[in-house]
Structure 1
Amino acid sequence: MTSFFKLFSAATLILGLGSIILYPHVNTAQPSNNTFQQKVAENAIQEWISFNAPNRPVVRSQADVALLEREPLEYRKCQTINRYWAVVPVNQSGDNKPPSGDSCKLNIPPTPQGKGQIGKWNEYPWSAAFISYIMQKSGAGNQFKYSGRHATYIVDSVKNRDTQNYPFRGYPIDQKEPEIGDLICAPRGSSKDLVYDKILQEGDFTSHCDIVVAKNDNKNIEVIGGNVGDTVSKTIVLLNSKGYIQKTDSHSDFRPWFVVIKNTLRP
Protein backbone atom coordinates (compact mmCIF):
# COMPACT_ATOMS: atom_id res chain seq x y z
CA MET A 1 0.00 0.00 0.00
CA THR A 2 1.63 3.27 -1.07
CA SER A 3 -0.55 5.81 0.76
CA PHE A 4 1.32 8.19 3.10
CA PHE A 5 -0.31 6.60 6.08
CA LYS A 6 -2.41 3.52 6.51
CA LEU A 7 -5.79 4.47 7.92
CA PHE A 8 -8.18 1.59 7.96
CA SER A 9 -8.60 -2.15 8.17
CA ALA A 10 -11.72 -3.26 6.33
CA ALA A 11 -14.27 -5.25 8.26
CA THR A 12 -17.55 -5.35 6.40
CA LEU A 13 -18.68 -5.05 2.80
CA ILE A 14 -22.33 -4.31 2.18
CA LEU A 15 -23.32 -4.89 -1.41
CA GLY A 16 -26.29 -2.87 -2.55
CA LEU A 17 -27.19 0.61 -3.62
CA GLY A 18 -23.93 2.53 -3.63
CA SER A 19 -21.88 -0.55 -2.59
CA ILE A 20 -20.87 0.82 0.80
CA ILE A 21 -17.85 -0.48 2.68
CA LEU A 22 -17.72 0.22 6.42
CA TYR A 23 -14.42 0.70 8.21
CA PRO A 24 -14.80 0.63 11.98
CA HIS A 25 -11.11 0.97 12.92
CA VAL A 26 -9.17 4.20 12.39
CA ASN A 27 -5.41 4.37 12.64
CA THR A 28 -4.32 7.90 13.53
CA ALA A 29 -0.67 7.45 12.52
CA GLN A 30 0.87 10.65 11.20
CA PRO A 31 2.43 11.14 7.74
CA SER A 32 6.19 10.75 7.45
CA ASN A 33 6.68 14.34 6.28
CA ASN A 34 4.61 17.45 5.88
CA THR A 35 4.30 18.48 2.22
CA PHE A 36 1.37 20.55 1.05
CA GLN A 37 -0.03 17.54 -0.83
CA GLN A 38 0.00 15.46 2.33
CA LYS A 39 -1.63 18.27 4.30
CA VAL A 40 -4.43 18.36 1.72
CA ALA A 41 -5.00 14.61 2.05
CA GLU A 42 -4.75 14.64 5.84
CA ASN A 43 -7.19 17.54 6.20
CA ALA A 44 -9.66 15.87 3.84
CA ILE A 45 -9.49 12.64 5.86
CA GLN A 46 -9.94 14.45 9.15
CA GLU A 47 -12.95 16.32 7.79
CA TRP A 48 -14.41 13.05 6.45
CA ILE A 49 -14.14 11.44 9.88
CA SER A 50 -15.43 14.42 11.88
CA PHE A 51 -18.31 15.19 9.50
CA ASN A 52 -19.64 11.63 9.84
CA ALA A 53 -19.08 11.35 13.61
CA PRO A 54 -20.38 9.74 15.72
CA ASN A 55 -21.27 7.33 12.92
CA ARG A 56 -18.69 5.21 11.15
CA PRO A 57 -17.16 6.89 8.10
CA VAL A 58 -18.14 5.14 4.87
CA VAL A 59 -16.39 4.29 1.65
CA ARG A 60 -18.24 3.83 -1.62
CA SER A 61 -16.99 1.54 -4.35
CA GLN A 62 -19.22 3.48 -6.72
CA ALA A 63 -20.13 7.13 -7.08
CA ASP A 64 -23.49 8.34 -5.82
CA VAL A 65 -25.02 8.54 -9.30
CA ALA A 66 -27.65 5.94 -8.36
CA LEU A 67 -28.50 7.23 -4.90
CA LEU A 68 -32.16 8.14 -4.71
CA GLU A 69 -32.77 8.85 -1.04
CA ARG A 70 -31.77 12.15 0.60
CA GLU A 71 -31.66 12.29 4.38
CA PRO A 72 -32.37 15.53 6.27
CA LEU A 73 -29.10 16.96 7.55
CA GLU A 74 -28.42 17.65 11.18
CA TYR A 75 -28.19 21.27 12.27
CA ARG A 76 -24.55 20.91 13.34
CA LYS A 77 -23.65 19.64 9.86
CA CYS A 78 -25.25 22.67 8.31
CA GLN A 79 -23.05 24.81 10.53
CA THR A 80 -20.01 22.86 9.36
CA ILE A 81 -20.92 23.48 5.73
CA ASN A 82 -21.33 27.19 6.46
CA ARG A 83 -17.67 27.04 7.48
CA TYR A 84 -16.81 25.61 4.07
CA TRP A 85 -18.73 28.39 2.33
CA ALA A 86 -16.92 31.07 4.33
CA VAL A 87 -13.74 30.65 2.24
CA VAL A 88 -15.54 31.14 -1.09
CA PRO A 89 -15.29 34.72 -2.43
CA VAL A 90 -18.62 36.33 -3.25
CA ASN A 91 -17.57 36.90 -6.86
CA GLN A 92 -16.80 33.19 -7.25
CA SER A 93 -19.96 31.75 -5.77
CA GLY A 94 -22.32 32.39 -8.69
CA ASP A 95 -25.87 31.50 -7.70
CA ASN A 96 -24.62 28.62 -5.55
CA LYS A 97 -23.86 30.32 -2.24
CA PRO A 98 -26.50 30.34 0.50
CA PRO A 99 -27.64 33.71 1.90
CA SER A 100 -25.36 35.33 4.44
CA GLY A 101 -26.01 34.81 8.12
CA ASP A 102 -27.16 31.60 9.73
CA SER A 103 -28.66 29.92 6.70
CA CYS A 104 -29.16 26.80 8.81
CA LYS A 105 -32.27 28.44 10.25
CA LEU A 106 -34.00 29.08 6.93
CA ASN A 107 -37.66 28.00 6.90
CA ILE A 108 -37.62 25.05 9.29
CA PRO A 109 -35.64 25.23 12.56
CA PRO A 110 -34.04 22.09 13.97
CA THR A 111 -35.74 20.06 16.67
CA PRO A 112 -34.39 20.19 20.23
CA GLN A 113 -32.44 17.02 19.39
CA GLY A 114 -30.59 18.90 16.63
CA LYS A 115 -32.28 17.07 13.79
CA GLY A 116 -34.80 18.17 11.22
CA GLN A 117 -35.21 19.48 7.74
CA ILE A 118 -32.93 22.36 6.92
CA GLY A 119 -35.23 24.17 4.51
CA LYS A 120 -33.88 26.07 1.53
CA TRP A 121 -30.28 25.76 2.72
CA ASN A 122 -30.28 22.16 1.49
CA GLU A 123 -30.76 23.40 -2.09
CA TYR A 124 -27.18 24.75 -2.37
CA PRO A 125 -24.61 22.21 -3.65
CA TRP A 126 -21.51 22.54 -1.48
CA SER A 127 -18.97 20.12 -2.96
CA ALA A 128 -16.81 22.88 -4.49
CA ALA A 129 -16.95 24.84 -1.23
CA PHE A 130 -15.58 21.71 0.50
CA ILE A 131 -12.62 21.53 -1.90
CA SER A 132 -11.97 25.24 -1.45
CA TYR A 133 -12.05 24.90 2.34
CA ILE A 134 -9.56 22.01 2.35
CA MET A 135 -7.17 23.89 0.04
CA GLN A 136 -7.32 27.04 2.16
CA LYS A 137 -6.92 25.13 5.43
CA SER A 138 -3.89 23.31 3.98
CA GLY A 139 -2.14 26.58 3.15
CA ALA A 140 -2.79 27.19 -0.56
CA GLY A 141 -3.01 30.93 0.04
CA ASN A 142 -3.77 32.82 -3.17
CA GLN A 143 -2.51 29.99 -5.39
CA PHE A 144 -5.87 28.20 -5.66
CA LYS A 145 -9.04 29.42 -7.42
CA TYR A 146 -11.50 29.22 -4.52
CA SER A 147 -15.02 28.89 -5.88
CA GLY A 148 -18.51 27.57 -5.36
CA ARG A 149 -18.26 25.90 -8.77
CA HIS A 150 -15.74 23.19 -9.64
CA ALA A 151 -15.61 24.50 -13.22
CA THR A 152 -13.73 27.59 -12.01
CA TYR A 153 -10.59 25.71 -11.03
CA ILE A 154 -11.00 22.98 -13.65
CA VAL A 155 -10.95 25.56 -16.45
CA ASP A 156 -8.06 27.44 -14.84
CA SER A 157 -6.00 24.25 -14.51
CA VAL A 158 -6.61 23.17 -18.11
CA LYS A 159 -5.89 26.65 -19.46
CA ASN A 160 -2.56 26.69 -17.62
CA ARG A 161 -1.52 23.07 -18.04
CA ASP A 162 1.50 24.08 -20.16
CA THR A 163 2.47 26.99 -17.90
CA GLN A 164 5.75 26.08 -16.25
CA ASN A 165 5.62 25.96 -12.45
CA TYR A 166 1.86 26.64 -12.36
CA PRO A 167 0.72 24.94 -9.13
CA PHE A 168 -2.50 23.30 -10.41
CA ARG A 169 -2.48 21.90 -13.96
CA GLY A 170 -5.29 19.86 -15.51
CA TYR A 171 -4.70 16.88 -17.82
CA PRO A 172 -6.80 14.17 -19.47
CA ILE A 173 -7.04 11.09 -17.26
CA ASP A 174 -5.04 9.00 -19.76
CA GLN A 175 -2.00 11.32 -19.61
CA LYS A 176 -1.17 11.65 -15.91
CA GLU A 177 -1.30 9.27 -12.97
CA PRO A 178 -3.23 10.61 -9.98
CA GLU A 179 -1.20 11.05 -6.80
CA ILE A 180 -1.94 12.04 -3.22
CA GLY A 181 -3.14 15.65 -3.01
CA ASP A 182 -4.30 15.80 -6.65
CA LEU A 183 -7.90 16.47 -7.67
CA ILE A 184 -9.87 14.28 -10.04
CA CYS A 185 -12.98 15.68 -11.68
CA ALA A 186 -16.00 14.52 -13.66
CA PRO A 187 -18.84 16.27 -15.49
CA ARG A 188 -22.34 15.66 -14.23
CA GLY A 189 -25.98 16.63 -14.66
CA SER A 190 -26.68 18.53 -17.86
CA SER A 191 -22.93 18.48 -18.65
CA LYS A 192 -22.46 14.74 -18.10
CA ASP A 193 -21.29 14.10 -21.67
CA LEU A 194 -18.68 16.88 -21.70
CA VAL A 195 -15.21 15.72 -22.79
CA TYR A 196 -11.80 17.11 -21.89
CA ASP A 197 -11.16 18.76 -25.27
CA LYS A 198 -14.32 20.87 -24.92
CA ILE A 199 -13.64 22.21 -21.41
CA LEU A 200 -12.21 25.58 -22.44
CA GLN A 201 -14.86 26.04 -25.09
CA GLU A 202 -17.64 25.30 -22.61
CA GLY A 203 -16.22 27.57 -19.94
CA ASP A 204 -18.83 26.90 -17.27
CA PHE A 205 -20.46 23.55 -16.61
CA THR A 206 -21.80 21.28 -13.90
CA SER A 207 -19.15 19.00 -12.43
CA HIS A 208 -17.70 17.36 -9.34
CA CYS A 209 -14.15 16.99 -7.98
CA ASP A 210 -12.65 14.81 -5.24
CA ILE A 211 -9.29 14.88 -3.47
CA VAL A 212 -6.91 11.92 -3.80
CA VAL A 213 -5.99 10.78 -0.29
CA ALA A 214 -4.43 7.35 -0.90
CA LYS A 215 -3.02 5.19 -3.69
CA ASN A 216 -3.05 1.43 -3.25
CA ASP A 217 -0.42 -0.60 -5.13
CA ASN A 218 -1.30 1.20 -8.40
CA LYS A 219 -4.61 -0.67 -8.46
CA ASN A 220 -6.94 1.99 -7.13
CA ILE A 221 -7.03 5.36 -5.44
CA GLU A 222 -9.13 6.60 -2.54
CA VAL A 223 -10.73 10.00 -3.02
CA ILE A 224 -12.74 12.21 -0.68
CA GLY A 225 -15.32 14.79 -1.66
CA GLY A 226 -18.14 16.81 -0.17
CA ASN A 227 -21.86 16.66 -0.86
CA VAL A 228 -21.61 13.04 -1.98
CA GLY A 229 -24.84 11.48 -0.75
CA ASP A 230 -25.34 14.59 1.42
CA THR A 231 -22.15 13.93 3.36
CA VAL A 232 -18.36 13.95 3.13
CA SER A 233 -17.61 10.59 1.56
CA LYS A 234 -14.71 8.50 0.33
CA THR A 235 -14.91 6.68 -3.01
CA ILE A 236 -12.70 3.93 -4.44
CA VAL A 237 -11.61 4.70 -8.02
CA LEU A 238 -10.06 1.96 -10.15
CA LEU A 239 -6.82 2.40 -12.09
CA ASN A 240 -5.88 0.61 -15.30
CA SER A 241 -2.69 -1.36 -15.90
CA LYS A 242 -0.78 1.85 -16.72
CA GLY A 243 -1.77 3.52 -13.46
CA TYR A 244 -4.24 5.91 -15.06
CA ILE A 245 -7.85 6.30 -13.96
CA GLN A 246 -9.99 3.65 -15.58
CA LYS A 247 -12.28 5.21 -18.17
CA THR A 248 -16.02 5.08 -17.67
CA ASP A 249 -18.89 6.86 -19.34
CA SER A 250 -21.86 8.90 -18.14
CA HIS A 251 -24.18 5.89 -18.47
CA SER A 252 -22.32 3.66 -16.00
CA ASP A 253 -22.64 3.49 -12.21
CA PHE A 254 -19.32 5.33 -11.88
CA ARG A 255 -18.46 8.95 -12.47
CA PRO A 256 -17.10 9.70 -15.97
CA TRP A 257 -13.81 11.12 -14.69
CA PHE A 258 -12.19 13.34 -17.30
CA VAL A 259 -9.57 15.54 -15.59
CA VAL A 260 -6.65 14.97 -13.24
CA ILE A 261 -5.57 18.26 -11.66
CA LYS A 262 -1.94 17.79 -10.69
CA ASN A 263 -1.14 19.56 -7.43
CA THR A 264 2.53 20.63 -7.38
CA LEU A 265 2.17 23.58 -5.02
CA ARG A 266 5.10 24.26 -2.70
CA PRO A 267 3.91 27.05 -0.36
Structure 2
Amino acid sequence: MHVFRFLPRLILTLSLAACASLPPRNLAPPADIRSNILRLADQEWQAFGRQTVYRAPDRHEIIDPVGVWEDDRKGSALVAKYWRGIGEDWTGVDGDKPWSAAFISWVMAQAGVPPEEMPASATHASYLRAAIGADDSHWRPHPPADYAPQPGDLICATRAGQKVARYDDVPLGATLHCDIVVHVGAGFLESIGGNVRNSVSKSERKLGADGRLGTNADRPWFLVLENRYP
Protein backbone atom coordinates (compact mmCIF):
# COMPACT_ATOMS: atom_id res chain seq x y z
CA MET A 1 0.00 0.00 0.00
CA HIS A 2 2.53 2.59 1.11
CA VAL A 3 5.08 1.28 -1.36
CA PHE A 4 6.87 4.59 -1.86
CA ARG A 5 8.17 4.71 1.71
CA PHE A 6 10.16 1.54 0.99
CA LEU A 7 11.69 2.76 -2.27
CA PRO A 8 14.87 4.38 -0.83
CA ARG A 9 15.83 1.17 0.97
CA LEU A 10 14.92 -0.94 -2.08
CA ILE A 11 17.07 1.25 -4.33
CA LEU A 12 19.98 1.03 -1.87
CA THR A 13 19.66 -2.74 -1.67
CA LEU A 14 19.61 -3.11 -5.45
CA SER A 15 22.59 -0.77 -5.81
CA LEU A 16 24.63 -2.76 -3.32
CA ALA A 17 23.67 -6.03 -5.01
CA ALA A 18 24.74 -4.61 -8.37
CA CYS A 19 28.20 -3.78 -7.05
CA ALA A 20 29.54 -7.32 -7.29
CA SER A 21 33.07 -6.08 -6.61
CA LEU A 22 32.17 -4.87 -3.10
CA PRO A 23 33.77 -7.10 -0.46
CA PRO A 24 31.36 -8.89 1.90
CA ARG A 25 30.60 -7.03 5.11
CA ASN A 26 30.62 -8.86 8.43
CA LEU A 27 28.26 -7.25 10.90
CA ALA A 28 29.30 -6.81 14.53
CA PRO A 29 27.25 -6.81 17.73
CA PRO A 30 26.02 -3.26 18.40
CA ALA A 31 27.92 -3.20 21.71
CA ASP A 32 31.23 -3.61 19.83
CA ILE A 33 30.79 -1.10 17.03
CA ARG A 34 31.90 2.13 18.72
CA SER A 35 35.07 0.53 20.11
CA ASN A 36 35.72 -1.09 16.71
CA ILE A 37 35.50 2.31 14.98
CA LEU A 38 37.95 3.89 17.42
CA ARG A 39 40.35 0.94 17.25
CA LEU A 40 40.38 0.89 13.45
CA ALA A 41 40.82 4.65 13.10
CA ASP A 42 43.81 4.50 15.48
CA GLN A 43 45.20 1.43 13.69
CA GLU A 44 45.22 3.20 10.33
CA TRP A 45 46.66 6.40 11.80
CA GLN A 46 49.48 4.34 13.32
CA ALA A 47 50.06 2.62 9.96
CA PHE A 48 50.47 6.03 8.31
CA GLY A 49 53.15 7.05 10.78
CA ARG A 50 51.04 8.96 13.35
CA GLN A 51 50.94 12.22 11.38
CA THR A 52 49.46 14.93 13.62
CA VAL A 53 48.14 18.35 12.63
CA TYR A 54 47.56 21.16 15.09
CA ARG A 55 47.71 24.94 15.30
CA ALA A 56 50.23 27.01 17.23
CA PRO A 57 48.98 29.95 19.34
CA ASP A 58 49.57 32.24 16.37
CA ARG A 59 47.22 29.97 14.36
CA HIS A 60 50.08 28.72 12.20
CA GLU A 61 49.52 25.09 11.19
CA ILE A 62 52.09 22.60 12.42
CA ILE A 63 52.47 18.98 11.27
CA ASP A 64 54.53 17.00 13.79
CA PRO A 65 55.36 14.27 13.24
CA VAL A 66 55.11 14.08 9.46
CA GLY A 67 53.95 10.61 8.55
CA VAL A 68 53.66 8.41 5.47
CA TRP A 69 51.98 10.12 2.51
CA GLU A 70 49.45 8.75 0.06
CA ASP A 71 51.89 8.38 -2.85
CA ASP A 72 54.62 6.64 -0.84
CA ARG A 73 54.82 2.91 -1.45
CA LYS A 74 53.29 2.03 1.92
CA GLY A 75 50.74 4.85 1.81
CA SER A 76 49.62 4.01 -1.70
CA ALA A 77 48.96 0.39 -0.71
CA LEU A 78 46.91 1.50 2.29
CA VAL A 79 44.84 3.91 0.19
CA ALA A 80 44.28 1.10 -2.34
CA LYS A 81 42.82 -0.97 0.53
CA TYR A 82 40.24 1.76 1.22
CA TRP A 83 39.34 2.03 -2.48
CA ARG A 84 38.83 -1.74 -2.71
CA GLY A 85 36.37 -1.40 0.15
CA ILE A 86 34.07 0.61 -2.13
CA GLY A 87 34.71 -1.51 -5.21
CA GLU A 88 37.35 0.68 -6.88
CA ASP A 89 40.92 -0.16 -7.90
CA TRP A 90 42.62 3.22 -7.47
CA THR A 91 45.63 3.79 -5.23
CA GLY A 92 47.28 6.70 -3.44
CA VAL A 93 49.17 7.51 -6.63
CA ASP A 94 45.83 8.59 -8.17
CA GLY A 95 46.19 12.02 -6.61
CA ASP A 96 43.13 13.47 -8.35
CA LYS A 97 40.84 11.00 -6.55
CA PRO A 98 39.86 12.28 -3.08
CA TRP A 99 39.83 9.28 -0.76
CA SER A 100 38.61 10.65 2.59
CA ALA A 101 35.11 9.15 2.13
CA ALA A 102 36.61 5.81 1.07
CA PHE A 103 38.60 5.84 4.33
CA ILE A 104 35.48 6.45 6.44
CA SER A 105 33.57 3.81 4.46
CA TRP A 106 36.34 1.25 5.05
CA VAL A 107 36.42 1.94 8.79
CA MET A 108 32.64 1.66 9.10
CA ALA A 109 32.49 -1.56 7.08
CA GLN A 110 35.33 -3.17 9.03
CA ALA A 111 33.73 -2.04 12.31
CA GLY A 112 30.56 -3.93 11.39
CA VAL A 113 28.16 -1.03 10.81
CA PRO A 114 25.19 -2.25 8.71
CA PRO A 115 25.37 -1.09 5.07
CA GLU A 116 21.91 0.47 5.20
CA GLU A 117 23.28 2.89 7.81
CA MET A 118 26.73 3.45 6.31
CA PRO A 119 26.93 2.27 2.70
CA ALA A 120 30.29 2.08 0.96
CA SER A 121 30.71 5.34 -0.89
CA ALA A 122 33.29 7.55 -2.58
CA THR A 123 31.43 10.63 -1.30
CA HIS A 124 30.66 11.70 2.24
CA ALA A 125 27.25 13.02 1.17
CA SER A 126 26.01 9.56 0.15
CA TYR A 127 26.76 7.77 3.40
CA LEU A 128 25.61 10.76 5.49
CA ARG A 129 22.25 10.82 3.70
CA ALA A 130 21.86 7.09 4.37
CA ALA A 131 22.87 7.37 8.05
CA ILE A 132 20.49 10.26 8.67
CA GLY A 133 17.61 8.70 6.74
CA ALA A 134 17.87 5.04 7.77
CA ASP A 135 15.04 3.50 9.79
CA ASP A 136 16.06 3.08 13.45
CA SER A 137 19.42 4.66 12.66
CA HIS A 138 22.15 4.65 15.30
CA TRP A 139 23.30 8.04 14.00
CA ARG A 140 21.72 11.38 14.89
CA PRO A 141 22.63 14.71 13.20
CA HIS A 142 23.26 17.88 15.20
CA PRO A 143 24.36 21.41 14.34
CA PRO A 144 27.87 21.96 15.78
CA ALA A 145 26.66 24.77 18.06
CA ASP A 146 24.08 22.51 19.76
CA TYR A 147 25.93 19.31 20.62
CA ALA A 148 29.28 18.45 22.23
CA PRO A 149 31.01 15.78 20.12
CA GLN A 150 32.13 12.52 21.72
CA PRO A 151 34.55 9.76 20.66
CA GLY A 152 33.07 7.74 17.82
CA ASP A 153 31.08 10.66 16.39
CA LEU A 154 31.73 12.16 12.96
CA ILE A 155 32.38 15.86 12.45
CA CYS A 156 31.70 17.08 8.93
CA ALA A 157 32.59 20.26 7.06
CA THR A 158 31.94 21.69 3.64
CA ARG A 159 34.82 22.33 1.27
CA ALA A 160 35.52 23.85 -2.14
CA GLY A 161 32.90 26.54 -1.59
CA GLN A 162 30.05 24.06 -1.03
CA LYS A 163 26.98 25.50 0.72
CA VAL A 164 24.68 23.35 2.88
CA ALA A 165 21.57 25.06 4.20
CA ARG A 166 20.63 22.48 6.84
CA TYR A 167 22.74 20.16 8.97
CA ASP A 168 20.15 17.36 8.59
CA ASP A 169 19.54 17.69 4.84
CA VAL A 170 22.78 16.90 3.03
CA PRO A 171 22.53 17.57 -0.72
CA LEU A 172 23.34 14.62 -2.94
CA GLY A 173 26.80 15.16 -4.42
CA ALA A 174 27.82 17.82 -1.88
CA THR A 175 31.58 18.35 -1.56
CA LEU A 176 32.42 17.54 2.06
CA HIS A 177 34.99 16.18 4.49
CA CYS A 178 34.40 14.17 7.68
CA ASP A 179 36.68 13.08 10.51
CA ILE A 180 36.14 10.52 13.27
CA VAL A 181 36.36 11.99 16.77
CA VAL A 182 38.77 9.83 18.78
CA HIS A 183 39.39 11.86 21.95
CA VAL A 184 37.80 14.77 23.79
CA GLY A 185 39.73 16.69 26.43
CA ALA A 186 39.34 19.95 28.31
CA GLY A 187 38.83 22.54 25.58
CA PHE A 188 39.94 20.41 22.64
CA LEU A 189 39.21 17.31 20.63
CA GLU A 190 41.27 15.02 18.45
CA SER A 191 39.90 13.50 15.26
CA ILE A 192 41.26 11.19 12.58
CA GLY A 193 40.51 11.54 8.89
CA GLY A 194 41.80 10.29 5.57
CA ASN A 195 43.30 12.43 2.84
CA VAL A 196 44.25 15.08 5.41
CA ARG A 197 47.56 16.61 4.37
CA ASN A 198 48.13 13.61 2.06
CA SER A 199 47.82 11.06 4.85
CA VAL A 200 45.59 9.57 7.51
CA SER A 201 46.14 12.33 10.06
CA LYS A 202 45.09 13.11 13.58
CA SER A 203 44.00 16.72 13.97
CA GLU A 204 43.67 18.66 17.18
CA ARG A 205 41.13 21.49 17.34
CA LYS A 206 39.74 23.76 20.02
CA LEU A 207 36.33 23.44 21.63
CA GLY A 208 34.31 26.14 23.33
CA ALA A 209 33.78 26.22 27.09
CA ASP A 210 30.60 24.21 26.46
CA GLY A 211 32.58 21.45 24.73
CA ARG A 212 31.17 22.28 21.29
CA LEU A 213 32.82 23.04 17.97
CA GLY A 214 30.51 25.99 17.39
CA THR A 215 32.13 28.41 14.95
CA ASN A 216 35.57 26.77 15.11
CA ALA A 217 37.41 28.50 12.29
CA ASP A 218 39.74 25.76 11.09
CA ARG A 219 37.04 24.30 8.81
CA PRO A 220 33.44 25.28 7.98
CA TRP A 221 31.85 22.60 10.18
CA PHE A 222 28.14 22.19 9.60
CA LEU A 223 27.32 18.79 11.14
CA VAL A 224 28.17 16.56 14.07
CA LEU A 225 26.83 13.06 13.47
CA GLU A 226 26.26 11.52 16.87
CA ASN A 227 27.19 7.86 17.20
CA ARG A 228 24.45 6.26 19.29
CA TYR A 229 25.96 2.80 19.48
CA PRO A 230 26.60 1.83 23.12
TM range (shorter): 0.7 to 0.9
Distance 1:72 1:145 in 2: 24
Give 2:178's aligned amino acid: C
What is residue 85 of structure 1 aligned with on the other side? 83
Per-residue CA shift, 1:200-223, capped at 9, x if unaligned? 373321110000101113x11100
1:186 aligns with 2:157: yes
**TM-score between the two structures when normalised by the length of structure 2:** 0.72
CA contact (8 A) 2:153 2:226 kept: yes
Distance 1:201 1:45 in 2: 27
Match of 2:98 among 114, 125, 146: 125
1:140 aligns with 2:138: no
Give 2:113's aligned amino acid: A
Per-residue CA shift, 1:66-117, capped at 9, x if unaligned? 89xxx7721232121111011215xxxxxxx5xx3xx45xxxxxxxxxxxx9
Any gaps of 5 or more consecutive residues in structure 1? Answer: 1-33, 90-96, 105-116
- CA, structure 1 residues 204+220, in 2 after alignment: closer, same or farther (shift >3 Å)? same
SS at 1:44's partner residue? helix
Match of 1:175 among 146, 150, 153: 146
SS at 2:221's partner residue? coil
What is residue 74 of structure 1 aligned with on the other side? 72
CA contact (8 A) 2:51 2:199 kept: no
1:199 deviates by 6.3
Give 1:38's aligned amino acid: S
SS at 1:189's partner residue? coil
What is residue 211 of structure 2 aligned with on the other side? 243
What is residue 14 of structure 1 aligned with on the other side? none
What is residue 42 of structure 2 aligned with on the other side? 45
Give 1:235's aligned amino acid: S
What is residue 151 of structure 1 aligned with on the other side? 125
Distance 2:44 2:203 in 1: 15
- CA, structure 1 residues 72+168, in 2 after alignment: closer, same or farther (shift >3 Å)? closer
What is residue 224 of structure 2 aligned with on the other side? 260
1:177 deviates by 1.6
Distance 2:170 2:221 in 1: 18
What is residue 65 of structure 2 aligned with on the other side? none
What is residue 11 of structure 1 aligned with on the other side? none
1:207 aligns with 2:190: no
Query: Which ranges of 4 or more aligned residues in structure 1 deviate by more than 6 Å?
Result: none
- CA, structure 1 residues 238+264, in 2 after alignment: closer, same or farther (shift >3 Å)? same
1:59 aligns with 2:71: no
Distance 2:120 2:138 in 1: 14
CA contact (8 A) 1:196 1:259 kept: no
What is residue 223 of structure 1 aligned with on the other side? 191
Equivalent pairs counted in the alignment come to 189
CA contact (8 A) 2:118 2:128 kept: no
CA contact (8 A) 1:150 1:209 kept: yes
Q: What is the RMSD computed on CA atoms of the aligned residues?
A: 2.7
SS at 2:101's partner residue? helix
**TM-score between the two structures when normalised by the length of structure 1:** 0.63
Any gaps of 5 or more consecutive residues in structure 2? Answer: 1-30, 56-60, 63-68
- CA, structure 1 residues 140+261, in 2 after alignment: closer, same or farther (shift >3 Å)? same
